[in-house]
Structure 1
């Protein structure tokens, strides 16, 4: 997976879940790349991140959506 460097022509756009309330709780941020996604801790954004493939990201999102619709 290719990760654009800081200052690249296509900077990463990081986002959090709509369930994040910004009250200082534990949260992760995600950024979509051309061939997958990056995931990092929202409190320590300059440290490590996890890179996943597009297939893995789609599977994760589908699983979360399914789990949130269960009673």
Structure 2
């Protein structure tokens, strides 16, 4: 269920065409969706898994 996901945010680095993903953070989970298809499917991850993913991205810079 994705009804608790609100406040979708898109990267400030998103291109002019809007080709990006959006992220919404809920209490214990994070949703990710295609910014061009907001009514489409949403990938949902446990909040800790998302935090691990973001930390991995930061370390790989």
TM-score (norm 1): 0.72
Work out whether residues 18 and 36 of structure 2, in 8 Å CA contact, stay in contact via their aligned partners in 1. no
Work out whether residues 3 and 33 of structure 1, in 8 Å CA contact, stay in contact via their aligned partners in 2. no
In structure 2, runs of 5+ residues without a counterpart are: none
Query: 4+ runs of 1 displaced by more than 3 Å?
Result: none
In structure 1, runs of 5+ residues without a counterpart are: 6-10
Q: CA RMSD in A?
A: 1.8
1:10-21 pair list within 5 angstroms: 12-21=6-15
Looking at CA atoms only, which structure, 1 or 2, has the larger radius of gyration? 1
Work out whether residues 18 and 35 of structure 2, in 8 Å CA contact, stay in contact via their aligned partners in 1. no
Q: Kindly tell me: are residues 13 and 57 of structure 1, through their superposed partners in 2, closer, same or farther at Cα, counting changes over 3 Å?
A: same
Deviation for aligned residue 1:26: 2.4
Aligned with 2:47 (options 54, 61, 67): 54
TM-score (norm 2): 0.82
